[in-house]
Structures are given as structure tokens and as C-alpha cells.
Amino acid sequence: MGVTELSKLRDQVAIVGVGTTRQGTISGKDGNEIAVDAFKLALDDAGLEKEDIDGLLTCRSFGDLGVDTQIAPLIGLNPLYSATLDYGTCNFSLHFAAMLIAGGFAHTVACMYGTNQRSNRNFFAGASAADYALAHGLFNIAGPASMALRRHMHEYGTTEEQMSAIALTERAHARLNPIAVMRDELTKDDYLNSRYIVEPLHLFDMCLITDGGACVILTSAERARDMKQPPVHIMGMAENTSLRNFQNDDQLMRPFIQTVRDQVYPAAGVGREDVDVLFIQDPTSVWVLQMLEWYGFCEVGEGGSFIQDGRIGLGGELPLNTNGGQLSESYMWGWLHIPEAVRQLRGQAGPRQVEGAEIAQYCSTMAFSKAASTIMRRD
């Protein structure tokens, strides 16, 4: 199982279109309508007609929306294959799309997500736990994230000052991104003086809930050859789960991500040293710290020092989340990292462009229970 089979998918599938709507507060539209807006933008980007789409993968969103049976009628399609994923980050949807294309279930697949949870005031007060945990006041993903960070600080000496580098770097990137929601300058003092949400997590370690939509269109490498945009090729993909939750030792530290690391680079046929621009899903900054380590960009425990001195900034050794990430661009359940990776690899990232970017990687998780990574290259 694993690497040998996964490498069969290398360069078989490509991303040919991306669409991202305005982010922030989008009054008067529900999540499905915003997803349709993103779909239109992605079709236009790809130079495709909606009839070219024969696979549909939607993503469940706030208010019981985002279901394929709801969205297909809105876009007037009877796709050959459709499904709805219960979780976001785009990575899992992208992998599913690649399986559908490689397996012949569909030729060209649109993955989409739309939400209006900001204007509808979804505060995720109860999203992170069953009632057992709520009785003890464990609200929001900030709770378990704070425990994971405190454990990291305890075991490895990571400091709040070190952690500020993630929020500050991403904010600096967001200031170059016209669709980013958070674009005011952020200083280390601002970070350290900001209130705790759940100590030791500061306000700026947390993302902001937003409305928005995103859509990514994939097809076979062969079909991708003659399209409007240069294709972005999917080199390698891998996943792993930790679904037993607290039955697992160290669940909040997420060591199960190592299995994804061990598979995704051989699947892609490249090493982490070949990655020109890195994307890590970041509902909280703790995700970035943990994934830099588990993917081997630094040793486990050394994430705090690794992120210093501009290393993860534009112009640094490993530019990270050039869009501003979820911390500063927009929450969107991690759906905006892939569109940014695609723009970087097409050379369309404007002032955020990483010079000569050839290979990008995206790492994401579904809470503490699933992990996925994708390595992409330019044409």
C-alpha cells in the first residue's frame, strides 16, 4: 500500500481553473449562491463552459448548505458523478477529484465551497466538541489548539514571541493581496499585547470568520494541454487519518501526519527541498507550527526557531501562505490556499509572486482527525 500506488497518479491530473470571490461580508447571498459565483469565476478562468463539467464535488457549509443535490440544480448540471464532502480545506476534495478522473468516473471535475457564516453570525461556539466537552467549557477549535500549543511550549521551549512570526508573516503577505480581509499593519508588540482567546493563543493566532467562495476545476493532464491557462500538474497526493480521536496517544500533537510526509514526497518524486512555495492550512497558527515539523521542514520541536528571521516570508528560504493564509486573508475553511498556489505556479501572483516558483505544496487537516497533502508543479 502507499507510495508505489500513489506514484501512479503522478502528473495524471491537472488544475485548469480557479475562482475566488470577494471575501469578508457578502450580504444577501447564501453559501450556495456564493459557491455558484465562485464556479462562474473558475469556468471563466479555465475558458470552459459549464457543460464541460461532468464531475461535481461540493463541500458542506454553514446552515446545512453546500450539498451536491442542492447545488447541481443551481448550476443546471446533471454531472456523471457527484458527491459532498463534510469537511473543507480543498485538499480532500482535490484528491477525490483526482481519483474520479484517474478512475474514469468523470473527465472534468469542479470542487467548490461557499459560505455566508460571517453575515449569519456563526461563531463556532460549539463546533469543536460533543456535549461532554461543552459542559466543561471547551468551546471552539481554539480550546484544543491552545492545549496543543502549551504542550509544544512545555516540551520544546517554544515561546509566544517566536509564535508571533507566523501571524506577522502572514499579515505582511495579506497586505499585498487585494482580496485579503485583514490588511492593517501588524507588529510584534501588537501581537504580544493582544488579548488571549484561549491562553496561550493570542487573538492574532486565530482566523477571522468570513463569507466567501472558492472553486477549483481539474481534468486529465491530456485534456489540460490545450486549455486557456497553463495547467498546474498534480505531482503527488497522500492522506492519513487519526479518527480514533482521544483514544490515540498525543492526538492533539498530530504525529499521524508523519505518514503523509512519508508518502507524499515519494509519490511526487521530489523532496521537500524542491518546494518553492509552501501552503499550510491555518485556522490557528498552531497548525503551521505542527505541520512544518511533521513534514520535516525542520526537526520536531524546532518549529519555533525555524520560523524566525524572515525564513517563511516572501524573499525568504521557504515562503509560506503568500495569500496571507486564513489568519489574514480569509477563513474559508482553508479553500483559498490551492487557488493561491495555482496563481503562484502560473506566475500570476502579482506583488506576491515567488520568483521562479516551480513547485508548491499544500498541507491541511480536518481538525485533529485527518491530514492531506498535495504537491503541484507548473507546466
Partner 1 sequence: MTEYAKPLPDVADPNMAPYWEAAKRHELRMQRCGSCDYVRFPPARHCPECLEENDDWVALSGRGTVWSFGVYHHLFNRAFADDIPYNVALVQLEEGPRLVTNIVGVANEAIEMGMPVEVAFDDVTDEVTLVKFRPRG
Q: Where does this chain bind partner 1 (CB under 8 A)?
A: 123, 125-126, 129-140, 142-144, 146-148, 150-151, 154, 195-201, 244, 246-247, 251-252
Helices 142-156 and 285-294: crossing angle, nearest 10°?
50
Question: Would strands 232-241 and 13-20 be described as parallel, antiparallel, or unpaired?
Answer: antiparallel
* Residue 152 CB, nearest approach to partner 1 (Å): 9
**Which residue lies nearer to partner 1 by CB, 28 or 137?**
137
**Which residue lies nearer to partner 1 by CB, 147 or 298?**
147
The torsion angles phi and psi of 222, rounded to 5 degrees, stand at -65, -50
Per DSSP, the three-state class of 49 is coil
* Residue 370 CB, nearest approach to partner 1 (Å): 18
* Residue 47 CB, nearest approach to partner 1 (Å): 45
* Residue 192 CB, nearest approach to partner 1 (Å): 15
What is the SS3 string spanning 311-378? CCCCCCCCCECCCCHHHHCCCHHHCCHHHHHHHHHHCCCHHHCCCCCCEEEEEEEECCCEEEEEEEEE
* Residue 142 CB, nearest approach to partner 1 (Å): 7
Looking at residue 372, its amino acid is A
Tally of CB atoms within 10 A around 205: 29
**Which residue lies nearer to partner 1 by CB, 132 or 185?**
132
**Which residue lies nearer to partner 1 by CB, 96 or 191?**
191
**Which residue lies nearer to partner 1 by CB, 198 or 349?**
198
* Residue 141 CB, nearest approach to partner 1 (Å): 11
Which residue is listed with cell 493564509? 325
**Which residue lies nearer to partner 1 by CB, 201 or 359?**
201
**Which residue lies nearer to partner 1 by CB, 92 or 287?**
287
Looking at residue 222, its amino acid is E
C-alpha neighbours within 13 Å on the C-beta side of residue 319:
24
**Which residue lies nearer to partner 1 by CB, 85 or 197?**
197
* Residue 291 CB, nearest approach to partner 1 (Å): 19
Alpha carbons 328 and 365: distance in angstroms, whole number: 19
Cα dihedral: 161, 165, 171, 172 (round 10): 120
**Which residue lies nearer to partner 1 by CB, 134 or 192?**
134
* Residue 288 CB, nearest approach to partner 1 (Å): 18
Using alpha carbons, select from 358, 19, 67 the residue that is nearest to residue 218: 19
**Which residue lies nearer to partner 1 by CB, 191 or 297?**
191
Alpha carbons 85 and 68: distance in angstroms, whole number: 9
* Residue 113 CB, nearest approach to partner 1 (Å): 24
Contacts of 103 (CB under 8 A, 6+ apart): none
* Residue 181 CB, nearest approach to partner 1 (Å): 19
Residues 174, 324: contact at Cβ < 8 Å? yes
Long-range contacts of 63-72 (CB under 8 A, 24+ apart): 63/30, 63/31, 63/116, 63/117, 63/120, 63/122, 65/30, 65/31, 65/32, 65/114, 65/115, 66/31, 66/32, 66/35, 66/113, 66/114, 66/115, 70/32, 71/32, 71/35, 71/36, 71/112
